[in-house]
Structure 1
Amino acid sequence: MRPEDLLFLLPLRYEDETRVTPVAQAQAGSSVLVEGRIVRVERKEGPRPQLVAHLDDGTGLLTGRWLHVYAGTAKRLEPGKHMRWFGEIRVGFFGEREMFHPRLVPIESPLPDRLTPVYPSVEGLSQGLLRRLVRRALEVVAPAEWLDETLRAREHLPPLREALEFLHTPPAGADERRLEYARRRLKLEELVAQQASMRRARAVRLAATAPALPEEEGPVRRALREALPFTLTAAQRRVLAEIDADLEKPHPMHRLLLGDVGSGKTVVAALALARALDGGHQGALMVPTEILAVQHARKLGEWLAPAGIEVALLTAATPAKAAQALRARLAEGEPLLVVGTHALIEEAVALPRLALAVVDEQHRFGVRQRFALRAKAGEGLSPHLLMMSATPIPRTLALAIYADLEVSLLDERPPGRQPVQTVLLSQRRRGELIERVRRWCAQGRQAYWVCPLIEESEVLDLQAATATWQELAATMPELRVGLLHGRLKNEEKQEVMARFVAGALDVLVATTVIEVGVDVANASLMVIDHAERFGLAQLHQLRGRVGRGSEASFCVLCYGEPLSATARERLAAIRANDDGFALAREDLRLRGPGEFVGLRQSGVPSLRVADLVADEDLVPLAQQLADEVLARDPALAETLIRRWVPGGGAWLHA
């Protein structure tokens, strides 16, 4: 770790050791410095031995507990000795104040005049050593100021040096507003680095060579259009035009297609892939689950059959001989459309004439997996890449997160889709709910019943999928109840899903394996068991499995009590709104961007100080500054990227 790296290792929080707090005034949950006399020390034997000391400061008694006792600590805790302890105040079973493993502070040491920073853990470095190293770095390193003084004044931002010193060594009683301005200075710099790294990655990718697909519509695309049993929406036509404009260029498209549940992303992808096939090239569609791969292969096969195009399926469940034969055909450059799971990026697979790779539910794949698919193309060529997600993200956030991509939005639902009525129901009315499901299916309809776990948990009191399946089968013997979860073998999953699609099952009890892609028009009732355990985005995805036919559809959110305040907010939001983009904003507020869009898997540089939601107002300025720095001073851009982006963002070029 270089001295400059230490400067930008910012504190997570601060501890106040600048003043002594009377024990009687110490609040539970606060970390304080107390001073008093040791009145008693005792050892408690048992399965977990403890060393217990009692400190009296004249206002009250404080108990210190040590579960791991070192000889040096025990020697210092002598009755009658005056001491200072620092730690978090807890309230014991009988209301007594106590500290676990308080830090022993020498009483002869003068009280500091600065708050004590607490840094993120660094392997091999204690907090004390980190603080000393940071103080030394502040003395020897002088990072150059690069922000214009006029801009700093307009945004109320201190100079870089001043911000760093204030954040590492804030004075006692530091003005919180001044701390926030110092943090904001560093947040802006980190966002500039993040945007610059992704813009640089985009420039590198645009310099690559891709097959330029013919502008005119070919026979495959034409046949597909004519075979579709519906008319494209205006949003689908707009997005397809954006994709087509990219495919005509001799450098690779890198486009993200965001669309709400049921907005028709699959048909847009199919039309784009048809254009690749018209040029005599190969197309590939990679999806995260076996069920989704089978369903996409079936649907695309039906749509492309009139054009005489074969849609191949390659997953871990594909029989060895069939998989070997398919890989041989692909390696020879046969113009096929192949749909598959992670099996598509296995070493044995070659796609020398791959012109377009489509990745569905892209946030479920790591960045290296997505680009491993792109690397299957022939030597010197980079295929066009279309990534799709049914997790809506507000456009401003999407442009910040995916700065190296073009972003298209499908913000219109196909006509004929019925709105789904969402109902909240307590677990106390479970018997009534089962009776409703019975009556629903007795009319020839089908229903999903989604559970959050596969087996009973000792920690969470939830209805497991297996237990629910047994319960429903026993309670409704006249109905055909199926079970689908992630631990079934691939062929078993396919068989269960095929029976449900064919109408041979009335109720499908499932875990979240049916969250995306499953499309059964006759299934118009969705029950989500213990809905309070799901996030908003997941609830919206699950609800999107119904309302896919012409009949009225319902989603019942069955919740356990008592509900937390956050769970209550989530359920109220999902009941009141079926707009995925509005729900996305609420989910981001409740959960943060990392959880919501899967940033760990998205290929987005992780942020240490800034927050793309809380600091959204800084993003446009960061984007403008990133463009200016890259154009004016590439060396400065490199410095900022290396300072803030893990590995200098080199992996973004994978």
Structure 2
Amino acid sequence: MSVTTLSNNDTLQKLDGVGPKTLESLSVLGINKLSDLILYLPSFLIDKTALSNLDNIDSGEKVLLIGLVKKIFRTKGYRANLIAEVDIGQGIIQIRFIHKIVIFSHLRVGDKIRFSGILYKKNNLREIIHPEVEKIKKGDTLELVTPYYQTKKLISQYKFRKLIKLAFQALDTNESLIDVFDSNFLAKLNIPNYTNAIKYCHFPDNNNYDTAQKNFLISRQRFILEELFAYKLMLNKKLNSLPRNYHLKINIDKEEEMKIINNLPFTLTKSQSKSLEDIKINLKSNRLMKRLLQGDVGSGKTLVAAFACYYIVRSGHQAAVLVPTEILCDQHYTTFTSFFSSLNIKISILKNNLKSAEKNLVLDNLLSGQTDIVIGTHSLLHNCNKFKSLGLVVIDEQHKFGVKQREIIVNADSQTKLQPHQLFLSATPIPRSLSLVLYQGLDYSIMDDMPKNRKPIETCLINEQNYEQLYEKILSIIKNKGQVYWVCPCINFTENLEAEYVTGVYEKLLKVFSKYKIGCLHGRQSDYENKKSIDSFMNHELDILVCTTMIEVGVDAPNALGIVIENAERFGLSQLHQLRGRVGRGYQNSFCFLIHSNKLNEVSLERLNVLKNSQNGFVIAEEDLRLRGSGEYLGYKQSGTNHDFALATAQDAILYHNLIIESEKELKFIDNDKINILLERWNKQNEKNIEL
């Protein structure tokens, strides 16, 4: 089908070459119309001006090569591979495609190809798995500078670039590429207009990489600025709609508060004291509190949350604490009960394994006001919809809950008829929360100091081929009277997943550490078995606990000095940071061992090095934002791929947020038609999806 001109809102089916499968893949990427495709900006540019010299390349490095296909064959069996041998003039390179035989079946013996990927060397074999491949036909002009798109491997880079070209050729540029900023503003900031910025990103200068890179970066800056303008406009609108007078009266007895603080067996850290002051200022103001409390694992967030609940309860209201796991629920219940033991504050627990009569009693007590604080798991969301006077919701490990889930408890029925204050706790803010911090949606407190004498955790990257080295380190920890978590991504063997699993590692470690006590913890055991394993570990009756990520939150064993995480590349940064936080709870040296594949790509290795080099939650969140995507900041998505392609790091956000403030007057000169274009362009029209 041939198309002359298309507009922003036309569907992608009108483009040549977009069939049902491609349409489905594009939809997964958040691309549903032409403007989505045009604004799906590349992550970076690839310099293809120089081919690799294999004499200077080590195994595991990325290469760019050109050669002739000499042989093609297909392996047999369930995991069939397509293998091609390519003569590059410096010898033969083997390229392998696993489960992608149909996609690359167009290759023929005699084809000249340009290909790139990670080169692995083993003995005399030189191999690249899943390279990017381009056929070179006679008379072709090779692209020497190419954009790279995050397509989640759903669409090849070659095909995606082809779709971008088709879309741009079919686009009615006069209607679709409208600039919302005037030329004077662009000149003042030295950034390109909208049309040129699009071209610099998708169609870089093919003759000079340095020029192309310079234009790409200034174009990206332009899109960051435009995106932030859209966020600013919609957030301002939402902020202006919030009630000005919030009448949930909070009284704080300073004398009783000081008695509690003085009776603590330790001294509050500076950041704990500062966070408590921040919360008190919020609670005594005439506006709703929405505060993010960020601090590394073990920095004392739970104590701050307990004080916030205390302020609310002493003012005649109730507090609800939402946690993601029953392990953490039990731990918080124990902590809160101990903390409030002398204050006549009634605390209840609500979790899935309670009997119906026990649950109903908790619900009745919440409605009558006999319960002051309820601590619960997801059961709190499904069962607890009525309170006498809900004044505060604390959401711990807030990245474990979606926006809609958080809204359920926040909008629970209460006789106050007011939305409760909200306190979010996180050891690593998810990108969505970080974005809202920067754009006024949340207040935030940073707990950046740890209790005295707490030592940093030493993080080590270990290749999966070096287990003997790891075993020696684990033995040293155990002999030093320490304990070790051993985390696996799977419970049992999975045929299509090359990953370590709990049951297999457990059996292996029983042989390797036959003189020591080893336990097991995973979701397919009964609650009784898991509780027994946890209790045994907490009582130091076990030396090693082989487990899934069930221990990610809520297990606080001060003798745990080591954690091994198998297939670490399969976990997100946030999760790895949380898991690492299970050790280092005492005052001895502690270690985190990240076991990774020996065929790790550059991006995955970069991610793991973030953990190795930093224990700062915000630094890790910035990298998560850059490497994983920040999601639709103002919508219900937590993280993902829709219209947030320009903003890459938290530093970008801060830099351009400040620029927005300085350039606030520019908003006054943008007419309503262009404002609507701006909001629609960045999908910020739907005001109800903004969480504040």
Q: TM-score when scaled to structure 1?
A: 0.74
User: Is 1:429 matched up with 2:469?
Assistant: yes
Confirm or deny: 8 A CA contact 1:12 1:117 kept in the other structure.
yes
- 1:295 Cα shift? 0.5
Residue identity over aligned pairs, in percent, reads 25
The verdict on how the C-alpha distance between 1:508 and 1:139 changes in structure 2, with shifts beyond 3 A counting, is closer
Change (3 A) 1:259 1:520: same
CA contact (8 A) 2:44 2:148 kept: yes
Q: Do 1:364 and 1:601's aligned partners in 2 also have CA atoms closer than 8 Å?
A: no
| Mapping 1:637-652, distance limit 5 Å | 637-645=675-683, 648=686, 650-652=688-690
- 1:137 aligned to 171, 174, 181, which one? 171
Aligned-pair distance for 1:239? 1.1
Mind listing any 5+ residue stretches in structure 1 that lack a counterpart?
A: 22-27, 55-62, 78-82
TM-superposed deviation, 1:387: 0.7
Contact 1:456 1:464 in 2 (8 A): yes
- 2:90 is aligned to none
1:440 aligns with 2:495: no
Deviations 1:346-405 (A, max 9, x none): 1653235211111111112111212222111437411111111112799x9667656411
- The amino acid across from 2:626 in the alignment is G
1:303 to partner: Cα distance: 0.7
8 Å Cα contact 1:366/1:603 also seen in 2: no
SS for the counterpart of 1:178 is helix
Decide which of 355, 372, 381 is 1:319's aligned counterpart: 355
Aligned equivalent of 1:336, options 372, 375, 394: 372
Alignment match, 2:443: 406
Counterpart amino acid of residue 301 in structure 1: T
Shift of 1:525: 2.0
**1:339 CA drift (Å):** 0.9
1:596-654 Cα offsets, whole Å, 9 max, x none, are 99985279985123312574574234542685466776845554222113664531148
Instruction: Write the mapping of 1:446-595 to structure 2, written as runs, cut at 5 A.
Output: 446-453=482-489, 454-456=491-493, 464-473=501-510, 480-521=517-558, 523-530=559-566, 533=569, 538-549=575-586, 551-555=587-591, 557=593, 559=595, 562=598, 580-581=615-616, 584-585=618-619, 588-589=622-623, 592=626, 594=628
Partner of 2:18: none
TM-aligned CA deviation for residue 526 of structure 1: 1.6
- The CA deviation at 1:567 is 7.5
- Indicate whether 1:244 and 2:280 are aligned: yes
Sort the Cα spacing of 1:643 and 1:447 in 2 relative to 1 into closer, same or farther, 3 A.
same
Give the count of matched residue pairs.
619
Deviation at 1:104, TM superposition (A): 11
Following the alignment from structure 1 to structure 2, what is the Cα–Cα distance between the partners of residues 617 and 245?
A: 25
Q: For the Cα contact (< 8 Å) 2:553–2:578, is it kept in 1?
A: yes
Q: How does 1:100-249 map to 2 (within 5 A)?
A: 131=165, 134-141=168-175, 145-147=179-181, 149-164=183-198, 167=201, 173=207, 175-176=211-212, 177-204=214-241, 206-207=242-243, 210-217=246-253, 224-225=260-261, 228-249=264-285
The alignment partner of 2:690 has SS state of: helix
Deviation at 1:302, TM superposition (A): 1.0
- Give the drift of 1:286: 0.9
CA distance in 1, matches of 2:459, 2:568: 13
Q: Does 1:9 align with 2:44?
A: no
Residues in 2 aligned to 1:509 and 1:220: alpha-carbon distance in whole angstroms:
45
AA aligned opposite 2:553: V
Is the Cα contact below 8 Å between 2:290 and 2:443 reproduced in 1?
A: yes
Q: Distance in 2 between matches of 1:87 and 1:476?
A: 50
Q: Report if the CA contact (8 A) 1:255-1:405 is conserved.
A: yes
Work out which of the residue numbers 409, 427, 434 in structure 2 matches 1:373.
Answer: 409
Taking a change above 3 Å as real, the CA distance of residues 561 and 183 of structure 1, as seen in their structure-2 partners, is closer
Aligned equivalent of 1:57: none
2:343 matched residue in structure 1: 307
In the alignment, residue 436 of structure 1 is paired with which amino acid? Answer: S
CA distance in structure 1 between the aligned counterparts of 2:515 and 2:81, rounded to whole angstroms: 60
CA contact (8 A) 1:258 1:410 kept: yes
Could you say what the CA RMSD is over the residues aligned between the two structures, in angstroms? 5.6
Q: What amino acid is the match of 2:234? A: S
Task: Give per-residue Cα distances to partners, 1:188-236, cap 9 Å, x unaligned.
Answer: 21232234434444444x4276553324327985675455322322221
Rounded Cα–Cα distance in structure 1 between residues aligned with 2:607 and 2:203:
40
8 A Cα contact 2:269 2:450, kept in partner: yes
SS in 1 for 2:419: coil
TM-aligned CA distance change 1:355 to 1:208, over 3 Å: farther
Q: For residues 378-437 of structure 1, give each alpha carbon's deviation from its aligned partner in whole angstroms, at most 9, with x where no partner exists.
A: 37411111111112799x96676564111111112223x431563757521355345435
1:481 shift after superposition: 3.3
Q: Which residue of 1 aligns with 2:661?
A: 624
- Equivalent residues of 2:493, 2:501 under 8 A apart: yes
Q: 1:86 to 1:448 in 2, by over 3 A?
A: closer
CA distance in 2, matches of 1:114, 1:488: 56
SS at match of 1:518: coil
Distance across 1 between alignment mates of 2:590 and 2:690:
43
Separation in 2 of the partners of 1:185 and 1:418? Answer: 44
CA–CA separation in structure 1 for the residues paired with 2:126 and 2:473 = 45
Are the equivalent residues in 2 in contact too, given 1:532–1:567 (CA < 8 A)?
A: no
SS at match of 1:592: helix
Q: Which structure would you say has the larger Rg?
A: 1
User: C-alpha distance in 1, partners of 2:584/2:540?
Assistant: 17
257-266 or 324-333: which moved more?
324-333
* 2:278 is the counterpart of 1:257: no
Contact 1:282 1:354 in 2 (8 A): yes
Would you say the 8 A contact 2:437–2:443 is kept in 1? no
Q: Letter of the 2:648 partner, please give it.
A: D
Distance 1:508 1:44 in 2: 43
Equivalent residues of 1:482, 1:496 under 8 A apart: yes
Question: 1:6/1:309 Cα in 2 relative to 1: closer, same or farther (>3 Å)?
Answer: closer
Within 2, Cα distance between the matches of 1:100 and 1:401?
Answer: 37
1:289 aligned partner: 325
**1:191 and 1:622 in contact (8 A); partners too:** no
Partners of 2:44 and 2:624 in 1: CA distance: 25
CA gap 1:240/1:199 in 2 versus in 1, 3 angstroms: farther
Q: Distance in 2 between matches of 1:186 and 1:585?
A: 23
Counterpart residue type for residue 159 of structure 1:
N
What residue identity is the alignment partner of 2:615?
Answer: G
Deviations 1:81-119 (A, max 9, x none): xx999986899x999999999789999xx9899999999
Tell me the CA shift for residue 267 of structure 1: 0.7
- Seen in structure 2, the aligned counterparts of structure 1 residues 323 and 210 have a Cα distance that, compared at 3 Å, is farther
Which range moves more in the overlay, 249-258 or 152-161? Answer: 152-161
Mapped pair 1:391 → 2:391: no
Contact 2:64 2:115 in 1 (8 A): yes
- For residues 393 and 470 of structure 2, the distance between their equivalents in structure 1, rounded to whole angstroms, comes to 45
Q: 1:630 to 1:428 in 2, by over 3 A?
A: same
1:607 paired residue number: 644
Report the CA distance between 1:284 and its aligned residue: 0.8
Contact (CA 8 Å) 2:229, 2:660: kept in 1 or not? Answer: yes
Structure 1 residues 602 and 245, CA gap change in structure 2 (3 angstroms): farther
SS of residue matched to 2:340:
helix
The amino acid across from 1:493 in the alignment is: N
Q: What residue identity is the alignment partner of 2:39?
A: L
SS of the counterpart of 2:387? coil
